[in-house]
C-alpha cells in the first residue's frame, strides 16, 4: 500500500484551526463548507446562539437539523486535501454551559458542581456517557469539557459562580473528571481538559479582558487534576487559559507562553498530545495583542489548534487570512515548517480516534 502523501503546507496549517461560524443548514454554512473542502479546515466549534450576547441563533435548532449540518461538514472534510476527519466540537459541560439543551429538544444536564457535590464517580460516569451519547447522536465528536479547574475562588465570575467546577478539592476534581471522560469515551466522544494551568482562582473573566492570577493561583492545588489525568491516560486534549501569571511568565498569558505550554505542560507534566487554545478573540487576547502577534506567540508557545470562535467579531474570510498569516511566518522564518509539522502529527494521531458519523 502506498503511503498517503503529506498535504501541502497550507493544508497542514488549516488543520490547526478550530473556527466558529454562522449557519444552521448547509446552505447557510456555505462559507465554512468551502473552507473545509477547499482549504482543509481542521475543525469547527458549534454554538446555540451568538456568544456572549445570546442574541441570535448560531448553529443549533434541533437534533434533526444539527445531524444534517454535521453530516454535511464531515462530507466536505472527506473531499479535502488533508483527508482527515473534521473536529466537530461543542462546549457541553452540563448545567449552565450546555449548548444542546431542552430548548432545542435535548435532555437536561447537571452541572459539574452538582456532580461533584454528589460525590459518586459512577453517577458522573453515567452523566458523561449520557452527554456523550447526545453529542454522538448528532455527529459531534469532541466535547470541550470537562472543566478541571479547582474551585479555589467561590466567587469566580466565570468558573465558580457558574457551577463549572466539580469541587474546591483537587482530588475530587480529578476523580470526577476521570469519570466524566470515561463516560464520554463509552459513547465514542473525545474530551478536552480545561483551562490549563488553572482558572479556578481568578477574580475576572478572560472573555472580557486581561485577568491576572499571580496573587491567587495555587500551583500544587490547581495543577493536580491536570497532572493526574495526564499520568493515568485520561487526557485526550488540553485547552489553555488566557490567564496571566507572572510566576510562570512575566510577559505573556498562558495561551501565548512558551514557558507555560512547552515548559510546564509538555516538559514538567509530560503532555505530548494536542493543545487547543481558548478563543483567540476573547478580550484577554484582543485587548493586549494584535491578531497576527497573538497567533505567532501561541504557535511558538506550543499550541496545536487555534480556536477562533468569533465570540465578539465575525470576520468573513478569517480562515484564509489566518492561513496566509501563518504561511508568511514560515516563509520569513518567524515560524519553522518543523514546528507546523509537530502540530500536524499530533493532530493526525488525535483525529485517528475521532468518530466521523452520528451514532
Kindly report, residue by residue over 188-247, the tens digit of the pLDDT. 999 999 999 999 999 877 776 778 999 999 999 999 999 999 999 999 999 999 999 999
When pLDDT is averaged across residues 53-79 and rounded to a whole number, the result is: 93
CA end-to-end distance (rounded Å), the chain:
30
Confidence of residue 148 (pLDDT cuts 50, 70, 90): very high
- Model pLDDT, residue 312: 65
User: What is the average pLDDT score of the chain?
Assistant: 94
Peptide bond just before 197 cis, omega within 30 deg:
yes
The residue that leads in pLDDT, 174 or 356, is 174
Confidence of residue 2 (pLDDT cuts 50, 70, 90): very low
- Please say if the pLDDT value at position 342 is more than 90: yes
Global pTM reads 0.96
Q: Residues 48, 104: contact at Cβ < 8 Å?
A: yes
When pLDDT is averaged across residues 165-182 and rounded to a whole number, the result is: 98
When pLDDT is averaged across residues 2-24 and rounded to a whole number, the result is: 90
CA gap 269, 231 in Å, rounded: 8
Residues annotated as part of the active site: 207, 278
- Model pLDDT, residue 314: 77
CB atoms within 10 A of CB 228: 19
Amino acid at each position: 500500500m502506498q503511503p498517503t502523501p503529506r498535504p501541502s503546507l497550507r493544508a497542514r496549517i488549516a488543520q490547526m484551526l478550530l473556527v466558529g461560524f454562522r449557519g444552521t443548514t448547509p446552505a447557510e454554512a456555505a462559507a465554512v463548507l468551502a473552507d473545509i473542502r477547499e482549504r482543509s479546515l481542521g475543525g469547527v466549534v458549534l454554538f446555540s446562539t451568538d456568544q456572549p450576547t445570546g442574541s441570535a441563533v448560531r448553529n443549533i435548532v434541533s437534533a434533526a437539523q444539527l445531524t444534517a449540518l454535521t453530516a454535511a461538514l464531515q462530507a466536505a472534510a472527506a473531499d479535502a486535501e488533508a483527508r482527515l476527519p473534521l473536529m466537530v466540537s461543542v462546549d457541553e459541560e452540563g448545567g449552565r454551559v450546555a449548548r444542546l439543551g431542552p430548548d432545542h429538544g435535548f435532555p437536561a444536564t447537571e452541572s459539574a458542581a452538582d456532580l461533584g457535590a454528589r460525590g459518586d464517580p459512577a453517577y458522573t460516569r453515567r452523566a458523561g456517557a449520557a452527554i456523550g451519547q447526545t453529542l454522538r447522536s448528532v455527529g459531534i465528536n469532541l466535547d470541550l469539557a470537562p472543566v478541571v479547574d479547582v474551585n479555589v475562588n467561590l466567587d469566580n465570575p466565570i468558573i465558580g459562580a457558574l457551577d463549572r467546577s466539580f469541587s474546591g478539592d483537587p482530588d475530587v476534581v480529578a476523580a470526577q473528571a476521570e469519570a466524566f471522560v470515561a463516560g464520554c469515551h463509552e459513547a465514542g466522544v473525545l474530551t478536552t481538559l480545561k483551562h490549563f494551568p488553572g482558572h479556578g482562582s481568578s477574580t475576572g473573566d478572560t472573555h472580557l479582558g486581561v485577568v491576572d492570577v499571580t496573587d491567587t493561583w495555587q500551583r500544587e492545588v490547581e495543577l493536580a487534576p491536570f497532572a493526574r489525568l495526564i499520568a493515568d491516560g485520561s487526557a485526550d486534549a488540553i485547552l489553555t487559559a488566557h490567564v496571566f501569571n507572572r510566576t510562570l511568565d512575566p510577559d505573556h498569558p498562558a495561551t501565548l507562553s512558551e514557558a507555560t505550554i512547552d515548559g510546564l505542560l509538555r516538559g514538567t507534566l509530560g503532555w505530548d498530545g494536542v493543545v487547543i487554545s481558548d478563543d483567540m478573540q476573547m478580550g484577554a487576547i484582543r485587548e493586549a495583542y494584535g491578531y497576527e502577534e497573538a497567533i505567532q506567540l501561541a504557535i511558538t508557545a506550543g499550541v496545536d489548534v487555534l480556536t477562533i470562535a468569533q465570540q465578539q467579531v465575525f470576520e468573513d474570510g478569517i480562515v484564509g487570512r489566518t492561513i496566509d498569516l501563518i504561511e508568511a511566518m514560515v516563509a520569513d522564518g518567524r515560524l519553522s515548517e518543523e514546528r507546523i509539522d509537530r502540530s500536524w502529527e499530533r493532530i493526525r494521531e488525535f483525529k485517528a480516534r475521532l468518530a466521523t458519523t452520528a451514532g
